[in-house]
Amino acid sequence: MERALKPTAKTRALRVRAYAKINLGLEVLGVRADGYHELRTLFQTIDLHDDILIQPRARGLVVRCDDPAVPGDERNLALRAALELQRYAGIERGAEIAITKRIPVGGGLAGGSSDAAAVLMALDRLWGAGLGPAGLHPLARRLGADVPFFLVGGTALGLGRGDEVYPLHRQVRCHAIVIDLQRPVSTSAVFARVDRNLTPHENSNNIFRFVSSDLEGLRAFRILSNELEQAAMEEAPDLVDRAQRIRGILNREGATLASLSGSGSSFFGLFDDGRKAQGAQSALMAAGFIVLRARTVSLGQYRRIWAGSLGRMRARGVGNQSRSRHHGDHGRQGHSRRGRKAKSLRVDRV
């Protein structure tokens, strides 16, 4: 694996962003016949992102990543995505995929799944397969349960294994902070623990109540929770104490929602106001935590960003997009050309 990610040629290439997700809520409804779990979850893209540079090659697929923790072989989901598309669309051409990692690995933020979806969408365009998000869905769900969501983005309901994705009519817009505990947690191990704890219980229907409420008030967020948290804490007991401290600080600093994302280990807080998010970030950093600032990316923003990235390929080559100094964009891309700020936690129509 190489660490240098400089483009090798000024040729037709694509530079795209693979955004992280958080789960605003997650309910485990039961075990399925295929061993997976039936879920009801609320996905949300945030502007914390990996950068992916994809350059065409006559033959062969190569993937490189600046993070040594990410494998460069077929364990890499981005490489598997490219192979799937080659096979599915009968394409012989190749590509070189260079990933600059910003999304914590093994943190429940689905960075690997997002990279895979981004590669599908970019290569679909680069190779001229013309499948589009709907045509790519069967490939995406074969790659992993979280991958299809990134063909859609924004605020969306995930059903089935999480791979049946329904964009919500109303989109959440707010500030977020993500606490990177630098402690990868295995998703399959967490789900295996869920099985041991899974006792028949009344379906809480809180996600349904959240979605069907008008969502205008902040109180609606309080009914959301992540039912993987208990199993995640059993899988990683060293995190229990930190989780309590994080939640205490987030709540004290006025978070609208404080939760674990997916199977962990990242926690996040949502805020209706940038100053509150800043206050929480400072308090958590003073307590020794690594904190990333972000904003939610709505469905409309996600679509515009992708349309821009894929459209740019025709207009120009590599090398003219500045790199963000931040982990997230803080609204500079995709957050309205009119410079609208997420001053309050809002839920917008798509």
Residues in CB range of 57: below 8 A, 6 or more apart: 93, 94, 95, 96
Q: Residue 180 catalytic?
A: no
Strand pairing class (61-65; 94-100): parallel
Binding site for ligand C5P (CB under 6 A): 36-37, 39, 144-146, 161-162, 187-188, 191
Nearest distance in Å: CB 205, ligand C5P: 18
Nearest distance in Å: CB 167, ligand C5P: 19
**Which residue matches tokens 């065409």?**
56
Which tokens belong to 205?
A: 């229907």
Alpha helices in the chain (DSSP H): 77-89, 111-126, 132-143, 187-197, 206-212, 229-235, 240-252, 274-286, 299-315
**Which residue matches tokens 């000024």?**
10
CA-nearest of 46, 42, 70, 51 to 118 is 51
Q: Residue 238 catalytic?
A: no
Could you give the C-alpha distances from 269 to 75, 126, 149, in angstroms and in order? 31, 37, 21
Query: Residue 84 — left, alpha, or beta (φ > 0 → left; ψ -120 to 50 → alpha)?
Result: alpha
Is-contact 105 112, C-beta < 8 A? yes
Instruction: Burial-class residue 277 by CB neighbours within 10 Å (0-12, 13-18, 19+).
Output: buried
One-letter amino acid at 289 equals: F
Which tokens belong to 47?
A: 């502007």
Which tokens belong to 192?
A: 């295996």
Residues in CB range of 237: below 8 A, 6 or more apart: none
CB nearer ligand C5P, residue 91 or residue 105: 105
Phi, psi of 294 (to 5 degrees): -155, 175
Catalytic residue among 146, 180, 272, 329: 146
Could you give the C-alpha distances from 149 to 38, 159, 172, in angstroms and in order? 16, 10, 16
Would you please indicate which residues are annotated as catalytic (active-site) residues? 21, 146
